[in-house]
Amino acid sequence: MPELPEVETVRRTLEKLIVGRTISDVTVRLPRIVRQPSIDLFAKNLMGKTISRVDRRGKFLKLFCEPWVLISHLRMEGKYRVVKQGEPLDRHAHILFHFDDGEELRYYDVRQFGTMDLIPAGQENQLAPLDKLGIEPFDPGFTLDWFAKQMSQKRTRCKSLLLNQEFIVGLGNIYVDEALFSAGIHPERQAASLTLDELKRLYQSIIQTLSSALEAGGSSVRSYVNGAGEMGHFQVNLQVYGRKGEPCKRCGHSIERKVVAGRGTHICPKCQQILAPSVK
């Protein structure tokens, strides 16, 4: 699933490609992608509307076409491309937004898990699950003091907690594994067991990992591309994720994979000790 760096990269790309363009028509080839309103109203409400901006909340894209906002969740493999109208249709092209300038925005989704909701602008934060999303790692309120206080109160395992979108939004499997490795913390450690030094390392690792991934355009570990069809490059920098059986780049020990919080999890058992350090 695309995580914060990938979705933000898509947002930035789409912002350059589609803001200011007017939708002349909409073709819905897979109705179940659209959750609301009806398919007829979905197309009718967007016809003649100009895309004014593209925002993001967590892993959700928000395309504003006043008085409407289109909330799009890419799920596992959703992606957007801007192409010339009349270009041959891929069977995975499910929604087509036709522009009045001869091009169109196409939504592709091999797994067909993505969703779209068209609702009145101003009501987007009332839409589930956006109404329950937590703080973003780049929000001003995401400070070390806030992070340390919240973590110290949780008896949940670190990986489970960091994956919880109601706690911190935008982190997914790839970047949680990478941040925990960078901080030298085992994913099964209880959050409340972390020392202040470990909390500081983890806080800094989350920000640094996401910042580096954003700079690289995200990670193309499966089929992810941005709105211009370009791959991300952060996958070449991955330290543990997807590297089962390979030597740790830090100590040389073999990277292991286990299931934590229901997700495939990659760790270096030597660099990430399960036991909390003794407090002197």
State the catalytic residue, choosing from 59, 81, 106, 243. Answer: 59
Whose CA is closest to 155, among 189, 186, 190, 187?
A: 190
What is the DSSP pairing of strand 93-99 with strand 23-28? antiparallel
**Whole-number Cα distances in Å, 61 to 37, 85, 94, 248:** 17, 23, 17, 35
- Residue 91 has a CB neighbour count (10 Å cut-off) of 8
Q: Is 94 annotated as a binding residue?
A: no
For this structure, is 59 an active site residue? Answer: yes
Closest CA to 57 of 170, 221, 200, 216: 170
Q: Residue 153 and residue 162: Cα distance in Å, rounded?
A: 14
Tell me: is residue 92 an annotated ligand-binding position.
yes
Q: How many CB atoms lie within 10 A of CB 274?
A: 11
- What distances in angstroms separate CA 206 from CA 6, 37, 235, one per listed residue? 15, 37, 16
Q: Parallel, antiparallel, or unpaired: how do β-strands 256-260 and 115-120 relate?
A: unpaired
Catalytic residue among 12, 75, 257, 263: 263
Identify whether the C-beta of residue 47 lies closer than 8 Å to the C-beta of residue 25: yes
- Catalytic residue among 3, 8, 124, 178, which? 3
Residue 215 annotated in active site: no
Name the active-site residue from 2, 5, 137, 187: 2
In the residue annotation, 258 being an active-site residue is answered as no
**DSSP assignment of 19-56, as one string?**
TT-BEEEEEESSGGGEEES-HHHHHHHHTTPBP-EEEE
263 has catalytic annotation: yes
Interacting residues of 208 by C-beta distance below 8 A, sequence separation 6+ = 182
User: Which residue positions form the known binding site for DNA?
Assistant: 92, 111, 154
Which of the residues are catalytic? 2-3, 59, 263
User: Which residue positions form the known binding site?
Assistant: 92, 111, 154
